[in-house]
Amino acid sequence: MNNWQPWSLRELVGDLTTGATTPAEALQRSRARIAETDPELRAWVELGAPASANGPLGGVPLAVKDIVDVAGLPTRCGSQLRADAPPAAADAAIVTAWRNAGAIPVGKSVTTEFAYFAPGPTRNPAAPEHTPGGSSSGSAAAVAAGQVPLALGSQTAGSVTRPAAFCGVASLVLTRGRFSVEGVTGLSPSLDSHGFFAAGASDLALAWSALTGEPDSGLATGRPPRLLLWTPQALEPPMATALTSACAKLRAAGAVIDEFPDGRLIAQLTAAHPVIMAYEAARERAVELAAASQLSEQLATLLRTGAATSEHDYETARRTTTEAGERLSELLADYDAVLGPAALGPAPAGITATGDPVLSRPWQALGLPALCVPGMRTEAGLPLGLQLVGAALSETELLATACWSEAALRA
C-alpha cells in the first residue's frame, strides 16, 4: 500500500466552494483515510467529535499537534506525566483562529515528548522505516498520508521544517509572535513559533489567506525572486546534488541567486540557539524538571543543562541573536528570501531518533518565517525539502516566492 498520498487543500476548498463536495463528505473522507492508514502510521493520539464551522476554508478537516489545546480533548504532550490529563476546557487561541477561518479540528496528532527529541510512535508515510522527524511528526505524517489536508504544528528548533522535508510535504513556520500562544504548552518562550502543514506551497498560501485575510499568493504568477543561497558545509551528498539542481532550475526560470555572504553570522546563531532553548526550557518546564526521573533522557538532559546555564551565557546568546538579526535584516533588504536546504539530507533510517534540526536553528533563533518546499527526491525515492526564509512578518511575500519556486521546480 502506498501511504504517501497528500490531499490538496486547494482542490478540496474548490470543491467545497462549488458544492462538488460537502463538509460532511470531507470529514468522512478524512475518517476513512485515517482508518485505512493509521494502524500502520500512528499519526494520531485521539480523535474528537468535529463541529461545524463557517469561514473561507468551509469545513476543512484539521489535525492539531498534541501540545495545543482543543476544547473537549486532553493535551498529553507525548508524556506519561500527562497521561491522565483532563479534557481542555477551551481551545487554544490559534485553534480559535483556524476555526474562524472555517477549519474543523478532527483530533490531536502525535508530538514528541513536550515537543523535544524523544520520538513518538509515528511512521513516515513516504518511507515507513525512516523517521518522520520531530516534534510535529503526527501532523506532518497526517498530511503526507492524505488523512487531512491541513495540520498544525509548532517549532522551537526544527519541529515543523524538518518533518515536512522528511515526509515530502510543505510547511510554514510563522513569524514568532504573529498569533498568541495562549493554550499551547511551550518549551522556550523566546523561540516557540506556530506553524502548519499542507500538500504544497500553493495550499499553504490558500490556508494563510483564509487565516489572515491577506491576498492569496497562489493565485498570481508572480515575478522571479532574488534569493540568497545558503549552502551549509555538512550536507549529505543527495541534498547537495538536489540543491545544485534546484538552483539551476530556478536560475533558468529567471531567479537571481547570489551566495549568502556571511557564514560567520549563521555559525553564531546556530551556537546561540541551544543555549537559549535549554535555559528557557528549564524554567518553562520547571514542574517537569522536578520529576526528571519520569522523563526521557533527552528531555531530562536538556532541562538539567538549562538549569546549569548561567545568566551571563544566556544574555550573551540573546545579544548575539539581536545583533545578528539586525545584520540579516540589512541583507534581506535587497532579496526576497534566503534559499537553502531544509535538512542535511533525507529522513535518517530508523524511528528511534528524529534527525538533526541544525539547519533550522539559526532562523528560529531570529523568529523568522520559514517555508519548506517539497518535490525533490533522492535516487532511492526519499523526499528532500528546500527551505526559504524571509524577513519578519513577510509570510505573504514568502509564500509568493515559494509558489513561484514550486512551479519553476516542477516545470
pLDDT tens per residue across span 127-171:
999 999 999 999 999 999 999 999 999 999 999 999 999 999 999
Q: Which fold has domain 1-258+335-410?
A: Amidase signature (AS) enzymes (3.90.1300)
409: confidence class by pLDDT, cuts 50, 70, 90: very high
Residue 321 near residue 272 (C-beta atoms within 8 A): yes
- Mean pLDDT, to the nearest integer, of 207-218? 97
List the grid coordinates of 147: 488523512
Give pLDDT, residue 220: 83
Give pLDDT, residue 87: 98
Give pLDDT, residue 280: 98
Distance of CA 274 to the CA centre of its chain: 18
- Mean pLDDT, to the nearest integer, of 81-103? 98
411: confidence class by pLDDT, cuts 50, 70, 90: confident
ω before 159 within 30° of 0 (cis)?
no
Q: Cα angle at 80 between 77 and 83, to 5 degrees? A: 75
**pLDDT above 90 coverage of the chain, percent:** 97
Domain definitions of the chain by residue range: 1-258+335-410
Using one digit for the tens of pLDDT, what is the confidence trace for 69-91? 999 999 999 999 999 999 999 99
Using one digit for the tens of pLDDT, what is the confidence trace for 288-297? 999 999 999 9
52: confidence class by pLDDT, cuts 50, 70, 90: confident
Give pLDDT, residue 221: 80
Q: Put the strands of the sheet holding 103-109 in their side by side order.
A: 44-47, 103-109, 60-65, 150-155, 193-198, 170-173, 370-377, 383-389, 337-341, 226-229, 256-259
Q: Cα angle at 62 between 378 and 386, to 5 degrees? A: 25
- Enzyme catalytic residues: 65, 135, 159
- Residue 251 contacts by C-beta under 8 Å, 6 or more apart in sequence? 257
Give pLDDT, residue 96: 97
Looking at this protein, which amino acid is placed at residue 218?
G
312: confidence class by pLDDT, cuts 50, 70, 90: very high
Q: pLDDT averaged over the chain?
A: 97
Checking if the pLDDT of 1 tops 60, the result is no
- Mean pLDDT, to the nearest integer, of 236-257? 98
List the grid coordinates of 109: 496528532
